[in-house]
Amino acid sequence: MMLDNFIKKSCIDDIAAIADRVTDIVILSHKNPDGDALGSSLALYHYFKARGKRVKVVLPNLFPDFLSWLPAAGDVLVYEGNVESAREAILGAGAFFCLDFNTLSRIGDVGQCVSSLNVPKVLIDHHPFPSDEFSVAVSHPEACSTAELVYRVIVALSGTGAVSFDIAQCIYTGMMTDTGAFAYASARKDIYLIIAELLLKGIDKDLIYRKVFYNSSLSRMRLWGYVLYEKLEYFKKYNAALITLSHDELMRFYARKGDTEGLVNQPLQMKGVRFSCFFREELPGKINVSLRSVDDFPCNRVAAEFFNGGGHMNASGGELHCSMESAVEVFRNVLQKYRTELTE
């Protein structure tokens, strides 16, 4: 059974032309990189390295520790803390490949640096509403992950033989993490055709699952226990739930990057919950917002309207610059505004 071919041939031809004429490639992804951001970036990194290119992956800030096992993760340049080296790589790029974000504003200071450069910028992303900043845009919200799209681009460029064991591990990690281990956004047959091809490359999908999801520290386990017992609020009238974590609470449990990854999904396991919101005060007065939903409740609309963000219908994010009390008040306003959608 063949994959549905939804990437335009003209896009593949344009990417091939760009890749053929440049030597130095910089791969970029979004702030607070997750498994899809890092997995797709490293997959493309390995592909271009095998083609003899000089390649750098530049991320705005650090990725979670449970992804550090990915092949070549140690070669990633983190802009935060390595500004000079990252800027040098960016200024020397012949082309940028922008993965898992739809506008350069999502990569902060890195985006400001990149936007001013007259260099081809190739977008590969599955978020809706891409900006027009890119020379080539492979933008398909119907894909389960950016990793799926990177797999398709590599195969379209060079065939399945170009997908090495390392690339396969990175692609599988991105697809797995962005679908909650294939629990959502994963009903299309193509996803499993791709997985079958990745298994043929020799990956151990069960081992990858354990490396990502069974890799908790004692402090993380205690943090999750505290959150579920003390910090989870259930708004039965609205079929909604809220988790809040202050900066002091994060410090109390020695929370590291990635320790709260997945917490926002937990309330959706409760009967009747259609909408879950997680406020994490990473710095005093700066609150990261994660939103998750089931069925057709529009997280991305809520994120854009109330939280300066966006994303997918069932998985979105944003941020607020205010106190936690004010953030909770915003959440209550969301419930009032969307009470019909939440309860019908």
Could you report how far apart the first and last alpha carbons of the chain are, in Å? 40
Residue 34 has pLDDT above 70, yes or no: yes
The band of 4, judged by pLDDT with boundaries at 50, 70 and 90, is: confident
How many whole angstroms from its chain centre is CA 304? 17
**Structure-token pair, residue 267:** 């309330």
What pLDDT, in 10s, does the model give residues 207-256?
Answer: 999 999 998 899 999 999 999 999 999 999 999 999 999 999 999 999 98
What is the rounded CA–CA span in Å between residue 287 and residue 245? 9
Q: What is the mean pLDDT of the chain?
A: 95
Contact 277, 240 (CB under 8 A): yes
Q: What is the pLDDT of residue 106?
A: 86
Question: Residue 338 CB: number of other CB atoms within 10 A?
Answer: 19
Q: What is the location of CATH 3.10.310.30 in the chain?
A: 218-343
**Structure-token pair, residue 180:** 């909650």
Average pLDDT on 26-44 reads 96
Average pLDDT on 204-209 reads 98
Residue 1 has pLDDT above 70, yes or no: no
Contact 87, 111 (CB under 8 A): no
User: Scanning the structure block, which residue is given the tokens 């020799």?
Assistant: 202
Q: What is the pLDDT of residue 179?
A: 93
What pLDDT, in 10s, does the model give residues 63-115?
Answer: 999 999 999 999 999 999 899 999 999 999 999 999 999 999 889 899 999 99
3-class state of residue 20 by DSSP: helix
Average pLDDT on 134-160 reads 97
**Structure-token pair, residue 133:** 């900043």
Q: Which CATH number fits domain 9-212: 3.40.190.10, 3.90.1150.10, 3.90.1640.10, 2.140.10.10?
A: 3.90.1640.10
Q: What is the pLDDT of residue 108?
A: 87
Q: Which residues contact 322 (CB under 8 A, 6 or more apart)?
A: 285, 287, 330
CATH of domain 218-343: 3.10.310.30
3-class state of residue 215 by DSSP: coil
The band of 296, judged by pLDDT with boundaries at 50, 70 and 90, is: very high
Q: Tell which residue, 155, 182, 185, 179, has the closest CA to residue 167.
A: 155
Q: Tell which residue, 51, 92, 32, 34, has the closest CA to residue 288.
A: 32
User: Scanning the structure block, which residue is given the tokens 């992303």?
Assistant: 125
74: left (phi over 0), alpha (psi -120 to 50) or beta: alpha
Question: Residue 85 CB: number of other CB atoms within 10 A?
Answer: 14
Question: Residue 296 CB: number of other CB atoms within 10 A?
Answer: 9
State the pTM of this model: 0.91
What is the rounded CA–CA span in Å between residue 260 and residue 263? 6
Q: What is the DSSP letter of 127?
A: S
Phi, psi of 98 (to 5 degrees): -105, 110
Share of the chain above pLDDT 90, in %: 91
